[in-house]
Structure 1
Amino acid sequence: MTLYEQLLEEAYNEGIIVKEVSLNSNADGLYTNNKIAINKSLDTTIDKACVLAEELGHHYTTIGNILDLKNINNAKQELQARKVAYNKLIPLDRLAEIFFKNNVQNIYELSELLDLSVLFLEEALEYYASKYGTHVFVNDFLIIFEPSLYVYRIDEFNTK
């Protein structure tokens, strides 16, 4: 089952109707009243999964019409929905394990392993860096965000 199919199943279990439609705006997705519209012009199920995760984030966190992003409260709700998507699709423990176990060399390889778009992954990493700073410890790993992403296993630092 693809990530997109898993998210569609989650939406169904939440009582949300998801349809791929032509949107009359430049939006990739919209959420309102337990309905999600995904722009059918999106090319891949990877792109659709990233959008669907954010729209599910709106289901869980958004109140009212937030289309006017010049309004600071609406912009905050938009960011909150994105944070839900980042945490859902790229939990730090999963990021660390996949990076370390696959000896990832670059963000393109990592995005492929995570089945996510490069843009979504870059934005998620920026979010995590803004939240945690240059690094964070997760389980048995040290994740370095800056100057570039790298993951160390903590026991690598232990010497006899």
Structure 2
Amino acid sequence: MRYDWTPLWRSTIGFDRLFDVLDEAQRTAEDSYPPYNIERLDENRFEIAVALAGFTPDEVVLSAEQNVLTLEGRKNEKAGKTFLHRGISARNFKRQFTLADHVEVKGARFNNGLLVVDLQREIPEAMKPRRIAIQGAGAPSSQIEARAA
């Protein structure tokens, strides 16, 4: 069962992205093809591995726009094939991953039937925490002296 978030959009300001994320999570739970893993390699590096058995690199499109990574697969089926059993799913798909702020796609590669996408978080210097010196009571302060006219 899908929940319609539209009534909540009317009564909230600035939370549109939150409802989009909830809607995407609900859609993801409904469709689990193709299967994937998300692995944290260290504090700022991640890897998404998507099982794409039977797909070639030219049948897969990977794109990043704003904070959304989109993976689409279009299988080019050849006419005239007769399967006695078809256990390897080769259907068309579209899967989207919502990326956190400042996460960049660094590259993608096929490796043994897996599409591996490398991600890295790069926080701008202006947003990194910085240490601020605290002056004590004995430290000289900088005051502006004014003269009476």
The normalised TM-score by structure 1 is 0.31
Structure showing greater relative contact order (alpha-carbon pairs closer than 8 Å, 6 or more residues apart): 2
The structure in which a higher percent of residues are strand is 2
Q: Going by fraction, where is helix more abundant, 1 or 2?
A: 1
Larger radius of gyration: 2
